[in-house]
Amino acid sequence: MSQLADKIAAAVRPARSLTFNAVENVSSISPADVTLLRHLLEAELAARKIRVVQDPLPETLGDIKISEGVEGPLMTVEIHRSDDVDSREGIAIVALQKRAVTSSAEGGVPLILQRRFIFAQAEPILDFVSPDAPDGAGTRLLVLERDRVDYLRLDQARWSVDHSSAVKSRFHAVRDPRGLIAKDKNDDEAIQIYLPQETCIGSGHGQTDLGCSPSVRAKPPAVLFMGHMWPLNPAEPRIFSAPYDPDRNYFEGLEANFGDSAVRLPAFYSGAAMSEGHRDSWILAELDGKARLYDGSPSATAPFSSWGDNLVGVSADCDPSWLVLVSGTGDWTVRDTLRIYRVAEHQAATVGQPLEFAGPVLALWPAEDGKSARVVSRNLQTGMYEGSIVSVSCSN
């Protein structure tokens, strides 16, 4: 702003006063920030002995325009003589920094979806966890990317990378990689990282390098070894763990027991599980774009239409029902939503208002506490990947 004021001061000399027309804002800068910018500019000009006045017959006029290019917002000031609006005494342009914006959910219904924005970065995110707090309120963060884990530390409201551990794969990449971070059940300090072709073990504090082993999967007619089972329900991995297809972007069918018979359920992108007594139930987002309920039978007992490919089970203190968070339909070029569904009697009913995202939800993983979910989304306006924690709470 100081630079801009210098240029304006040079353009208006010898005038000691200047009148600004109304600021024209054609950028994503908020009106409040526009007002703030104008006040900052006026203060800088005052320091240069140039008064900004509201003169109906001014000698010198300034047009302020806040616009936006591909590299961000800009502030342009054109100085004119008031007797010739086509004159240009000077043009000053400065680039502006945009302030981070966080989203919040709407409420007013029995169950409310709340989003806590945790961080954003330009590199794709597969998963993230806060080792201190499942609700993301901690001061440390592990971020899983395609080929490394970053250990971030919160320092004066900004995340900075403490250090990184590389994941060196000897396999060719997959185009839609997915990854999951899980805490080691036997060691509070340890984490397990699940990637399409590797599983890694390391310290949650990043004090040691990651140790990775491949999820070998020889193709038929050789022996088929299905690789590591990804724990899709950290609270109860017994009922919901499944092998991941290392060459694709989905889970191969999970082994389900119905009475005395073990059955492999269809391949799926994501799912939610519920256990009541000795009866286990699953909802799977399958490859044909439909979600199906498997409840006491190897055949689907109910299909759910218009669900996206990302779903996860959550619980709420005030509601004992089976609650499922579900993303919307549409591809990765459009905005997305998360909705809560209450599942009972083989039917799913949406509850409350959807939570909107400025781009697709790319990953949706259950948090350790079972009450929230980690969401990775891409903001189509900024191009940034965003990590958030979404939880269900009661409106009262």
Partner 1 sequence: MKVRLYLFLAAISVALAAAPAWTARRPRYGGTLRVEIGASVASLDPVVTASSPEETAALAQIGPLVFEHWGAVDAPIGAAGTGPFRVTSWDAGKWAELVANEEFREGRPFVDGIEIAMGRAAHERLVDLELSKTDLTDIPPQDARRAAERGVRVSASQPDELLALVFVGGNAGPNGAAATSARSAGKVTGQATGQKTGQANGPSRGGAVEQVMGQALSLAIDRVAIVNFILQKTGEPAGGLLPQWSSGTAFLFPAAAPGAADLEHAKELWKQIAASGPLVLGYDSADSLEQSVAERIVVNAKEAGVAVRAQAVPVAGAGAEKSRGAGLQAGHVGVQLVRWRMTSPLPGVALKDFLARIYAGPLAGVEAGAFPESASPEDIYGAQRAVLNTYRVVPLVWLPQVYGLSARLRDWKAPGPGENWPLADVWLDAETQTPTGVQ
Three-class DSSP category at 32: helix
Q: Shortest gap between Cβ of 391 and partner 1 (angstroms)?
A: 22
Contacts of 312 (CB under 8 A, 6+ apart): 270, 272, 324, 325, 364, 365, 366, 373
Cα end-to-end distance, the chain, whole Å: 46
- What pairing do the DSSP bridges indicate for beta strands 336-344 and 319-327? antiparallel
**In the complex, which residues of this chain contact partner 1 (CB under 8 A)?**
26-27, 65, 67-74, 76, 78, 86, 91-95, 172-177, 247-250, 269, 287-289, 308-310, 327-334, 336, 360-361
Rounded Cα distance, 216 and 180, in Å: 18
Q: Which residue number, 151 or 230, has a Cβ lying nearer to partner 1?
A: 230
Q: Shortest gap between Cβ of 144 and partner 1 (angstroms)?
A: 17
Q: Which residue number, 329 or 353, has a Cβ lying nearer to partner 1?
A: 329
Q: Which residue number, 200 or 361, has a Cβ lying nearer to partner 1?
A: 361
What the block records as the tokens of 249 is 């972007």
Question: Is 346 within 8 Å of 301 (Cβ atoms)?
Answer: yes
Q: Which residue number, 58 or 73, has a Cβ lying nearer to partner 1?
A: 73
Q: Which residue number, 201 or 302, has a Cβ lying nearer to partner 1?
A: 302
- What pairing do the DSSP bridges indicate for beta strands 17-20 and 347-357? unpaired
Three-class DSSP category at 272: strand
Q: Shortest gap between Cβ of 77 and partner 1 (angstroms)?
A: 11
Q: Which residue number, 280 or 286, has a Cβ lying nearer to partner 1?
A: 286
- What pairing do the DSSP bridges indicate for beta strands 190-194 and 198-203? antiparallel
Angle between helices 2-12 and 31-47 (to 10 degrees): 60
Q: Shortest gap between Cβ of 332 and partner 1 (angstroms)?
A: 5
Question: Is 268 within 8 Å of 287 (Cβ atoms)?
Answer: yes
Q: Shortest gap between Cβ of 330 and partner 1 (angstroms)?
A: 4
Q: Shortest gap between Cβ of 154 and partner 1 (angstroms)?
A: 31
Rounded Cα distance, 307 and 380, in Å: 21
Q: Which residue number, 190 or 302, has a Cβ lying nearer to partner 1?
A: 302
Report how many helices (DSSP H) and strands (DSSP E) the chain contains, helices first: 2, 30
Of 369, 353, 368, 364, nearest to 386 by C-alpha is 364
Rounded Cα distance, 42 and 314, in Å: 51
Rounded Cα distance, 142 and 181, in Å: 9
Q: Shortest gap between Cβ of 284 and partner 1 (angstroms)?
A: 13
Q: Shortest gap between Cβ of 93 and partner 1 (angstroms)?
A: 4
Q: Shortest gap between Cβ of 113 and partner 1 (angstroms)?
A: 18
Q: Which residue number, 327 or 372, has a Cβ lying nearer to partner 1?
A: 327
Of 222, 229, 236, nearest to 280 by C-alpha is 236
Q: Which residues pair with 231 in a beta bridge?
A: 241
Q: Which residue number, 174 or 190, has a Cβ lying nearer to partner 1?
A: 174
